[in-house]
Structures are given as structure tokens and as C-alpha cells.
Structure 1
Amino acid sequence: MYSRYPLKLVTVTLEHDRCWTSFVKEGQIRVLSHVNNGTYVRDVVVGDIEAVRTVTRLDPSTRVKEVVNLRRYGDVVVADILLSYDNSTVALLQKNGVALLEPTVVEGTESWNFLAYEYQLRKILEELERAASVVRVSMTDYVPQREVVLSDDEVRALEGAISMGYFEVPRRHRTWEVSRKLGMSQSTFTLHLRRAQRKLATKFLNSLRRSSST
């Protein structure tokens, strides 16, 4: 039997005074994973170098117990952070039975994304308001999107075009040069490239429409 209650895609932006998130003023951190273990929360985050550096300098009064590991990838850093909480936002949301989505975005505020039924929201928001300052709430009907899957040839065409500067202005290499490098005919290369572009562009536009609707 199908439920008559549609799922809502909800984004709640919070301000937590003296929490580590309130100190991230420069750059952005995206929390890719929350692991709640009662008193402690383990967050795996990725962010700008300066933003992550800010977190590594914080003392335990900001909930940062330990920075377990840091790994730099170009101009971004992945950090594994252990946080000490009595009643964390992630624990509050999980207690209310919502489907927590990643990432949580930190920019001096915390933007949490989750799926919930509309009748759950009043209680959730009341509890969040007791724990933090709720800056903004957006809600829209959740509409699932099919995952974009590129074929091996579409990936090859796209990677070849990018690596050979096909999309640059002016182009570093022409169509026949890229296709010859890939061992494809011009028509085959163009076909695979256009299919890849269409799939990715459609996914991107759908994401923009969902963002606009919220």
C-alpha cells in the first residue's frame, strides 16, 4: 500500500553560538558523514584550506575534541574530526526519525538537509529552536531523480575532450584531432560527447530547478 503522505525535502539553516561551525567565517566546509555515538559525533568534512585550518585551532569549548586526521588534495582538505556533544543536531534529527541527507554545509551557519513528512516538522523545528537559532527553513515535495549513468564511450569522449582543451576558447584541438587521439571516427566521437553533455546538462538543470523551488 502506498502512503498518502508525500516526503518533503527540507533544508534548515541554524546558528549555534560557540559551536565550531560558528567560527567558520572564511570559506566553506561540507560535512560528508556524521557518525553519532551517544556523547561523541565523528564528522568527516571537506573544505577550503583556511576553513579547515580554523577548525584545527579551536579548543574543546567549541565541541572539537580531536582532529583525528587531515589529508590535503590540492586546494581542499579532508578532515576527520571527533566532536563532544550532549545533545547534537544529528542526534535530534535521528531521534525524530528523519532521513538525514549529506552534505551538511557549514559557513558560520549549519545547513542541514533531510527528508521528513510534513506532520513531523512542527515538533522538529520546536526542538531545533530550543537548541539553536533557526535562521531559515525551506521545504519542497521530494521528487526523486534518476541517477545519471554515462557509458564507457561517453566517459572516454568527455575525458578526451577536457584533457585536450576541446572546450577551451579558443579550442586547443579540433574535433578530428580529439577523435583520432581516442581512436574514434569524428561522427562517433561527436555522438558520444553530445550524449554525455545532454545527460549532465539535464541533471544540472533539474538541480537548479529544485533549488529555485525551495
Structure 2
Amino acid sequence: MGYSKYSYKMVNLRLLHNDCWTSHMDGHVVKSLGRSFDHSDNGLRALVVVSSSSMKTLKSLMDEGKIKDIVNVQRYSDKFIVDIVQEYNNSVLSILNNNGAIVLDTVKANRREYWTFVTYEYKVPMIVKELNKIGVVEKIKLSDYDGSTREIGLTESEIKYVIAAAKAGYFDYPRKVRAKDLAESLGVKESTFLYHLRNAQKKLINKLLRDLDIREQII
């Protein structure tokens, strides 16, 4: 097995996809759970999470032919999981797949698509060139890819205490339990409990802020 001389890059980009259904989702946020290629009709299947207002917009877009089909809709709480079918040809995913990129995340919001993927650095110019044929790449950011940087890195104690705090209602307003009482139930000093809890909160918030920076605070 040989070793590649080409470096991997993590790419974050913002795209206005011309006349795609996403370009009609003004004011809406759509979170993609996963995508797959349907060989039977050359369609791109996607599971997305949307709000009630976004669900109405999706139905309108299907009636207008912007979306090929809505296969299934499942409601949970105030959200919907929607199984949609769109054209695979000239889709962002088709371009990324053809160039061997690995998709890590994607969000559609305010008529824009936000993609995070990993690819060889030398392939980035070609990907951008092809994406610009179907839309406008408005912003792109490259960074060295290190899988560990996507992890939050909580210790066992931090995981234990943040889960216990969440279950006990420590983060509720008003709080359902005091830190002193929760620490006592866990068999540790209050100072120990708060130390690990605040470390966990700091790591979680930093991860959230990094993600928001990638999205430019779109939500």
C-alpha cells in the first residue's frame, strides 16, 4: 500500500444553487439527515428535518415541480422528518461524488446551501468550477483535516455529570435541583461536580460556536 503525497482538506462552503428548491427556502432552515442515490429513476433521496412552515413550502415546491416527490412525512414534536426525491444530475452531491469528496454535513438555510466535506486539496478548484456552473459559490474556507478536531472530547466524568445534570433538571429555569444536592447524590464534592460540569459546558459551547462560525450564524 502506497502513501498519498496529496493532503486532505476540510472544505466549508456557502452556495446559492440557482433555481434549486433550496433557493426558494427563504427564511427557512432545513437540516439534512442523509442522502442516497435512487438508481431506479436517477433521483436523489434525502431525509430532511423541517418546521411546520417549511413543510408547507416543500409541498408547494413539489406542486411546482421543483421537487420530484415527497415519499413520506413523519411528525415529531413541532418538527417534520421528510423523505424527498430531487434530481441527482447537476446536484451538489453528484458533483462532490464525481470528484471523490466525502460529505460530512449539509444545511439549507435562507436560500443558501452550506456544505462541509473532505477532499484532496488539488481537487478543490475543479469542484468550485463545477459548482459555479449550477450556482454561485459565495464563500469557501479550507482547513487541514484532523478527524479528532470534530470531536468534543468530553472526559468520562464530564459526560457523567452533564448527563446527570440534564436528567435532574439542573439546566431548567427555574432549576429543579441545586448543584450541592446533585453533587451529594453523585457522591462527590460540590466543587468537584461544578468543575467537571463547567468544563463540559465550555467544550459543548465551543463546539457549537465553531459550527455557527462555519454557518455564519444562519439560524
TM-score under structure 2 length normalisation: 0.78
Output aligned runs, 1:90-105, within 5 Å. Answer: 90-105=93-108
Retained in 2: the 8 A contact 1:14–1:132? yes
Question: Aligned residues, how many?
Answer: 210
- Letter paired with 1:121: V
1:168 & 1:119 partners in 2: Cα distance?
A: 49
Per-residue Cα deviation, 1:139-198 (whole angstroms, up to 9, x for no partner): 2222322643564x7555323323444345664422343245xx43242x7645643542
Question: Aligned to 2:147, what secondary structure does the other structure show?
Answer: coil
Per-residue Cα deviation, 1:94-120 (whole angstroms, up to 9, x for no partner): 001111112333431111211112211
Percent identical residues: 27
Query: For residues 119 and 67 of structure 1, do their structure 2 counterparts lie closer, same or farther at Cα, with a shift above 3 Å needed?
Result: same
2:25 & 2:65 partners in 1: Cα distance?
A: 12
Output aligned runs, 1:62-211, within 5 Å. Answer: 62-145=65-148, 147=151, 148=153, 151=156, 155-167=159-171, 171-179=175-183, 183-187=185-189, 191=192, 194-195=195-196, 197-199=198-200, 201-202=202-203, 204-205=205-206, 208=209
Question: Aligned to 1:93, what secondary structure does the other structure show?
Answer: helix
Which contiguous aligned blocks of 4+ residues in structure 1 show a shift greater than 6 angstroms? none
Query: For residues 143 and 59 of structure 1, do their structure 2 counterparts lie closer, same or farther at Cα, with a shift above 3 Å needed?
Result: same
1:65 & 1:206 partners in 2: Cα distance?
A: 36
**Corresponding residue for residue 37 of structure 2:** 36
Alignment gaps of 5+ in structure 1? none
- Letter paired with 1:178: L
**Corresponding residue for residue 7 of structure 2:** 6
Query: For residues 7 and 87 of structure 1, do their structure 2 counterparts lie closer, same or farther at Cα, with a shift above 3 Å needed?
Result: same
CA shift for structure 1 position 84: 2.8
CA shift for structure 1 position 73: 2.3
Retained in 1: the 8 A contact 2:17–2:135? yes
TM-score under structure 1 length normalisation: 0.80
Query: For residues 194 and 77 of structure 1, do their structure 2 counterparts lie closer, same or farther at Cα, with a shift above 3 Å needed?
Result: farther
2:67 & 2:209 partners in 1: Cα distance?
A: 34
Question: Aligned to 1:59, what secondary structure does the other structure show?
Answer: helix
Retained in 2: the 8 A contact 1:158–1:193? no
Alignment gaps of 5+ in structure 2? none
- Letter paired with 1:166: Y
1:36 & 1:5 partners in 2: Cα distance?
A: 28
